[in-house]
Structure 1
């Protein structure tokens, strides 16, 4: 009987984890450049002194779906989207290099170029600082050109180039802060001149809300089934004890 209860408990635990992942994806359905997480579990036998008595569910490290989102036109000069593969390098609060596909940028009061989370966008020499200007243009290779304040209409000056990288996605890990980083022991990827961006566009999340909502209902029903199985195991155990008590 304990085996029946143990298997039901293990299944309920896995369903609870999968539901948490699915809800996290739904919460970020409107987050630009978000990559949905995938719940991944596998069966592991419980090792016994004589033989493997039963199996239980083991959760793997979070898997990430790196498929692309759709591109939305905004017409804003500081909105950029990666065309194809690649990432924009930004600086996390702890100073480490992280990667994002969210390109809704802005310039803070100190002239530092930042993403929507307030993280500094990195160039070849660190965070990018934009001088006072009349206009700003971002090229397809990430080069930022400005027309300095008070200059003529054709006086464009290159300020910096956004650090665009294209690492192997298998080496990327998402931390508790939701930021993508190179995995443990992995060096920061070099800038990739082949990564291209388009301006006046933003990439949407790759979460399919219809599928996620359907999945939420499916997982809820699976969890309810596992709970009912545990209740049935408890009732069977009580009946078994009652029969044993008859003399």
Structure 2
């Protein structure tokens, strides 16, 4: 009975944690470049002076699903998506380098190339990419940002403004932060990878499958009900045992 209570109690608690993770994935099913979070259960024995018969159930965060999401054509010149593996390097709010797959870009009021969420993109040489006023930009397959002066009546020459820092670190060494951005576990910035290619005029959608997420929510809800039933059975067993001991 004691073992049943520990297992069912901790199992029910962490099922709620997994439901929160699944709900977060489902809420980001339409977020550009989102990577689904993956959780798993594992058993941890309770270390005490008594016999090692009790076990905790622990919700272990395995990591993220790094499979690429589907591409959606937008036709917008400042929308780009990475083909295959790779990441855009951005400056996170704390000043460190972070990585995202969100390729929806804009030019800020200060003329800096940023993501739609306001994160400044990093250039291959380090630092931000400054876009001159009245400039229409385009992004080539290797991440080169070019611009044309839109104030001229006739189209002028194309000027190279900079090149996006495209990286491809080992995903086993990437961790997701509370802000949704990925960073290397070592804390060091990743080196630029010239093999990473992008496609302009399209965006990579979230790799969350809403149907699978809904089915997982239903499965977790049924598992929670099972844990509650086990706790109820443990309570009934304790009551019956108390009656038998009282008779003796």
Q: TM-score range by the shorter chain?
A: over 0.9
Among 155, 173, 176, the alignment partner of 2:175 is 173
Q: Distance in 1 between matches of 2:189 and 2:237?
A: 57
Among 158, 161, 185, the alignment partner of 2:160 is 158
Q: Distance in 1 between matches of 2:62 and 2:121?
A: 26
Unaligned segments of structure 1, at least 5 residues: none
Q: Secondary structure at the match of 1:10?
A: helix
Q: 1:116 offset after TM fit, Å?
A: 2.1
User: What are the Cα deviations for residues 32-84 of structure 1, in whole angstroms up to 9, with x where unaligned?
Assistant: 10000001221222234364222222333441110010000000000000011
Q: Secondary structure at the match of 2:35?
A: coil
Q: Secondary structure at the match of 2:192?
A: coil
Q: 1:91 offset after TM fit, Å?
A: 0.7
User: What are the Cα deviations for residues 138-185 of structure 1, in whole angstroms up to 9, with x where unaligned?
Assistant: 1111111111244551411101111100000011000112111111x3
Q: Distance in 1 between matches of 2:132 and 2:126?
A: 16
Q: Distance in 1 between matches of 2:164 and 2:236?
A: 64
Q: TM-score, normalised by structure 2?
A: 0.94
Unaligned segments of structure 2, at least 5 residues: none
Q: Distance in 1 between matches of 2:135 and 2:183?
A: 35
- Does the CA contact (< 8 Å) of 1:133 and 1:146 recur in 2? no
Worse-matched range after superposition: 148-157 or 120-129:
148-157
Partner of 1:60: 60
- Does the CA contact (< 8 Å) of 1:79 and 1:202 recur in 2? yes
Paired residues for 1:82-101 under 5 Å:
82-101=82-101
Q: Secondary structure at the match of 1:35?
A: coil
Q: Distance in 1 between matches of 2:42 and 2:135?
A: 57
Q: Distance in 2 between matches of 1:213 and 1:16?
A: 15
Q: Distance in 1 between matches of 2:34 and 2:64?
A: 10
Q: Secondary structure at the match of 1:33?
A: coil
Q: 1:99 offset after TM fit, Å?
A: 0.3
Q: Distance in 2 between matches of 1:150 and 1:29?
A: 40
Q: Distance in 2 between matches of 1:93 and 1:210?
A: 34
- Does the CA contact (< 8 Å) of 2:42 and 2:59 recur in 1? yes
Q: 1:134 offset after TM fit, Å?
A: 4.1
- Does the CA contact (< 8 Å) of 1:112 and 1:130 recur in 2? yes
Q: Distance in 1 between matches of 2:20 and 2:108?
A: 35
Partner of 1:46: 46
> How many residues were matched structurally?
246
Q: Secondary structure at the match of 1:16?
A: helix
Partner of 1:216: 217
Q: Secondary structure at the match of 1:131?
A: coil
